[in-house]
Structure 1
């Protein structure tokens, strides 16, 4: 796995966690730079757009060498299912039996990565951040179908890009036509560039100015002050308000394109990234899933504890430190006890279906989240 991609995964998960950390109104040791309401910060929600670009990239480079056909398509689907669903299902069930009240059909939709439509828009899954996995699984299904054709993931990327463009022309709540799906295509484009070694060598020559430009652009657009629609997932454009540019743009343009350039520029420094930093990327999926229910648990305690106790705790730095610590510890545990065994099981089942032997020293490709 590329060190640069692993590092970007950790960065994206960290800023998403930062964006959610202010949910309870508790005191922080310093001003939260990733709160979307911060005047001089970076809205951590943009980490999702980085994840989607990473996902498109990984899907292309991991399927490019496979022969098209049923075996490749089913093998791909098996690997993705066992990599994503087991931990997500486990945490969803815990949340369902714990502190979030939803009807049974809503929880079933969560487990099946399906949106739940209500009169006010689409509900988030039981794990709030799970809405992104609905789109991830949608792109995986699209990729698996396209692996039946000679164009494989490139066709899936073109379809996603076309659907995203189409969403910009309509004014409706067609969930999977949201323009954010274009970000998977941007990631796949990055995979095409990566596979073209001649082009990549030319890009390396300008990596410093490209990095400076991409970081400045990423920070500028990341200073979002709100959403154009309060029911974000119900809006096909998923528009974001950009403070620097005093503009409302579709998310795939306002945040997707800057995320693409950030990922491109960081990957050009693959030879400069320490291996230790990249290892943190292993725990990204667990961090992304677990931090939300841990924050929900803190909010639940805030509502149930005596008022005097809450006032004392909220006024200290204890809660956010405890949330980050609990997320880190549980992420290490779930990675080794749930993710790794499920990765191995999925790979074994996929190889058996494909009729292939296990590679002698192949690193597992993580999900983008």
Structure 2
């Protein structure tokens, strides 16, 4: 735990730790999908809170390039490791996917080409990439931390996801409503960070508008889901819980160090936990439920720490060296806060 950098936002890291555990519990079949949905929605709120602020005030093409250099060395190395492990373990998807599918998965863009994810959790990364592209657009013009533009995006995405929900309900067109919902959540948390930096109150009215808009959206979009424990009402509760959990952790100062530690390794944990579950259930079939839970959890924490220590940290250090070299050659105002996803 001592390796965690002092410039990290510990309360946000702790929230990451909570999020990844919620997703883990769902995939281990300890809880329903609903709990995992809370974790995923809160993850999106975390991304909006930190990603636009990984660079200080800057604009132009160079800033966009520097942004992607940081994101590349933050995301892709550990992501590639998870693909390699999935192929070695011959998970059901990895054993059937084509070479073309593997190559597209390597890019992290497979979802945009209708190709199946080697590991199911990758779907959230593609939503993250959509947010990155929008942030880069704002960054290019110097508006990535401008509350008015973030608010405009929120209003735009409210209109988009509500329209999609109506289309799903009345026309049966399965629009991916989760994408604009996630965009709205991320831009809302970006405004929360802007307000926090400026010493202002959180945007209560905007948050209320966002939550209220999600009620009819979820009821219309998921009206066709009749499976017990699912459906629009459960999505509403999940988004509301994620929202209030985020607000709670955004405000608190002291958090358990164990959650901070889990948050620091949460990206590798998120990528690898399904592989650990698959491995344990394939080779240790006779384990009792409590033993399986603690065994899978401890193994996942251990392999995630290994990935963090030997893959994530070195990759990000190398990325920082490249950034420093670029800054020396092409000066631009850059931030030194390498807050992680």
Scaled to the shorter chain, the TM-score interval is 0.7 to 0.9
Partner of 1:248: 232
Q: How does 1:1-369 map to 2 (within 5 A)?
A: 1-22=8-29, 32=30, 35-36=31-32, 43-63=35-55, 65-99=56-90, 100-101=94-95, 102-116=97-111, 124-154=116-146, 155=149, 158-159=152-153, 162-163=156-157, 165-170=159-164, 171=167, 172-173=173-174, 175=176, 177-199=179-201, 228=222, 248=232, 251=235, 254-270=237-253, 272-275=254-257, 277-301=259-283, 310=285, 313-315=286-288, 317-355=290-328, 364-367=338-341
Alpha-carbon RMSD across the aligned residues, in angstroms, is: 3.6
Q: Is the 8 A contact 1:50 1:263 kept in 2?
A: yes
Q: What SS class does the counterpart of residue 126 from structure 1 fall into?
A: coil
TM-score normalised by length of structure 2: 0.76
- TM-superposed CA distance for 1:90, in Å, is 1.6
- TM-superposed CA distance for 1:178, in Å, is 4.1
Q: Is the 8 A contact 2:222 2:232 kept in 1?
A: yes
Distance 2:197 2:337 in 1: 19
TM-score normalised by length of structure 1: 0.71
- Structure number with greater CO (CA < 8 Å, separation at least 6) is 2
Unaligned runs of at least 5 residues, structure 2: 1-7, 168-172, 205-210
- TM-superposed CA distance for 1:363, in Å, is 5.4
CA offsets, 1:74-103, max 9 Å, x none? 111110111001110121122134313212
- TM-superposed CA distance for 1:266, in Å, is 2.0
Cα 1:161–1:123 change in 2 (3 A) is farther
Distance 1:299 1:78 in 2: 38
Q: Is the 8 A contact 1:240 1:248 kept in 2?
A: no
Distance 2:327 2:151 in 1: 24
Q: What SS class does the counterpart of residue 83 from structure 2 fall into?
A: helix
Distance 2:226 2:265 in 1: 29
- TM-superposed CA distance for 1:332, in Å, is 1.1
Cα 1:92–1:242 change in 2 (3 A) is same
Distance 1:242 1:161 in 2: 32
Unaligned runs of at least 5 residues, structure 1: 23-31, 204-216, 231-238, 303-309
Distance 2:15 2:160 in 1: 29
Q: Is the 8 A contact 2:154 2:184 kept in 1?
A: yes
- TM-superposed CA distance for 1:153, in Å, is 4.9
Q: What SS class does the counterpart of residue 232 from structure 2 fall into?
A: strand
- TM-superposed CA distance for 1:293, in Å, is 1.0
Cα 1:335–1:16 change in 2 (3 A) is same
Q: What SS class does the counterpart of residue 89 from structure 2 fall into?
A: coil
Which of the pair is proportionally richer in helix?
Answer: 2
Q: What SS class does the counterpart of residue 159 from structure 2 fall into?
A: helix
- TM-superposed CA distance for 1:132, in Å, is 0.7
Distance 1:166 1:242 in 2: 28
Which of the pair is proportionally richer in strand?
Answer: 1
| Number of residue pairs aligned between Structure 1 and Structure 2 | 304
- TM-superposed CA distance for 1:162, in Å, is 2.0
Distance 1:56 1:240 in 2: 32
Q: Is the 8 A contact 2:60 2:139 kept in 1?
A: yes
